[in-house]
Amino acid sequence: MTDEFGVTAWGREWTRLAQPTKIIRPNPALPRARVLARNDNVRDVVLLAGSVTASVSTSDTSDYRVTVTFPTWDARRSAAAHEVVDGVSDGDLPDTLHAALRMRGVSVAPLVDELTAVCGCTQRVRPCVHILATYFEVARRIDENPRSGLLLRGFDPRSMSGASQVTLDDIDPTTFYSQGKTVSAGHSVVHRAALDS
């Protein structure tokens, strides 16, 4: 059976945090963690540079807050990422770019000994099922948008485009049409000429 988490090389690194390739015995919490993520029980997920927070709901109607913190890329890793992904247009990042990062010794996901994962539950075993479910949910989100994996490591995905980018909130409609510039709002590049027609 194909696992729905870590279907891309980008997300697979996060599934490896939950299910490392070198294990002594199977982890009985993994099936339950996958079910929690699959059934959308990992909610209020916030992905920021150096941290992930989430609320994991369980069958006993309890919600457990999970916080995962880790270092962002240092200058060397950021420079290597720029070499690999600069100039890549908006859209999916192919697994070949992930392989190029790995060749330069750059890991998209943090290593187990680099991160701190905290959960509000009372389970003695760590990582608990809620932390594991959070790893799977992050993997799924990175599968859907690999650029979010770069953002988690402090690499601004907007820096991969040569165009100046702003949010719609940053645009002053009274002066925008007179600037004659190409502006990128979110992932869509807005051309003045297209707006004038």
Whether the predicted pLDDT of 166 surpasses 60: no
Q: Per the domain annotation, does 50 fall within a domain?
A: yes
* Domain shared by 35 and 80, yes or no: yes
pLDDT number for residue 86: 76
- Mean pLDDT (the chain, rounded): 80
Residue 183 domain boundaries: 165-196
- Report percent pLDDT > 90 for the chain: 49
Q: Per the domain annotation, does 4 fall within a domain?
A: no
Tens digit of each residue's pLDDT (9 = 90 or more) over 171-189: 566 665 555 444 444 444 4
HEC string of the chain? CCCCCCCCHHHHHHHHHHCCCCCCCCCCHHHHHHHHHHCCCEEEEEEECCEEEEEEECCCCCEEEEEEECCCCCHHHHHHHHHHHCCCCCCCCCHHHHHHHHHCCCCCCCCHHHCEEEECCCCCCCCCHHHHHHHHHHHHHHHHCCHHHHHHCCCCHHHHCCCCEECHHHCCHHHHCCCCCEEEECCEEEEHHHHHC
Q: Per the domain annotation, does 125 fall within a domain?
A: yes
* 46 φ, ψ (degrees, to nearest 5): -125, 120
Q: Is the pTM of this model over 0.85?
A: no
* Domain shared by 117 and 192, yes or no: no
pLDDT number for residue 194: 41
Mean pLDDT, residues 53-71: 91
Number of separate domains in the chain:
2
* 99 within 8 A of 79, measured Cβ to Cβ: no
Whether the predicted pLDDT of 53 surpasses 70: yes
Q: Per the domain annotation, does 3 fall within a domain?
A: no
* Domain shared by 148 and 169, yes or no: no
* Domain shared by 93 and 169, yes or no: no
Q: Which residue type does 170 have?
A: D
Task: Report which of 77, 149, 139, 134 is spatially closest to residue 106, judged by C-alpha positions.
Answer: 77
* Domain shared by 146 and 108, yes or no: yes
pLDDT number for residue 196: 44
Least confident of 86-90, 105-109, 136-140: 86-90
* Domain shared by 20 and 73, yes or no: yes
pLDDT number for residue 25: 74
Mean pLDDT, residues 155-159: 67
Q: Per the domain annotation, does 66 fall within a domain?
A: yes
Q: Per the domain annotation, does 99 fall within a domain?
A: yes
pLDDT number for residue 174: 65
Whether the predicted pLDDT of 31 surpasses 50: yes
Q: Per the domain annotation, does 2 fall within a domain?
A: no
